Amino acid sequence: MTRLLSFVLLLSLSTVAFADTVVPTRTIRTNAIITDIDVAIKPGEIANGFDRVGDVIGQEARTTLYAGRPIRVDEIGPPALVTRNQIVSLKFESAGLVITTEGRSLERGGVGDRVRIMNLSSRATLFGQIQPDGSVEVQK
C-alpha cells in the first residue's frame, strides 16, 4: 500500500505545471511603448506579474525594464496622452453646469490617471482625471 501511495505521489509531482511570466527580451527604457518583439514568455510565476504577452503589448514602461526580469503590474501602464507642461482643456461639471477653460499639466499621464493641473486664469493648482480625448476632468 505504501509503495502504491509513493508511486502515485511521485507521478503527481512529475506532472505539476508551472505558470509562465512575461519578461523583456532587451532593456526597455522608461516611457517606451512595448511591442511584440520586446517581450517573451519565461517559465515561472511571480506575484503581481503578467502571464500573457497580450496584456503587455501596447503599454508604456513606467520604469526601466531589464531583460529577463519579470514585468510587474505597477511597472507599465497605458501610454501617456498628456505630457508635462502641455496646455490641456479643463472641464468641470456639476448639477448641469459645465465650465471649460485651459490649464497647464504639471504631470505626465495616460487615460484615467489623476494629474495636477494649473488653471491658467487663476494660477490655482487642481487635480483632474485624464479623459480619452486628452482633456482633463477636474474633480470636485
The reported pLDDT for the residue numbered 18 is 58
Are residues 53 and 83 in contact, defined by beta-carbon separation less than 8 angstroms? no
Whole-angstrom Cα distance, residue 14 to residue 121? 68
Q: Is residue 51 part of a domain?
A: yes
- Report if pTM > 0.85: no
Q: How do the pLDDT tens digits run along the chain, 140 residues long?
A: 555 444 444 444 444 445 789 999 999 999 999 999 999 999 987 888 998 999 999 999 999 999 999 999 999 988 999 999 999 999 999 888 999 999 999 999 988 999 999 999 999 999 999 999 999 999 77
Quote the DSSP letter at residue 59.
Answer: -
Residue type, 133: D
Instruction: Give the domain range for residue 35.
Output: 18-77
Q: Is residue 121 part of a domain?
A: yes
Q: Is residue 102 part of a domain?
A: yes
If we measure between CA atoms, which residue out of 134, 129, 118 comes closest to residue 85? Answer: 118
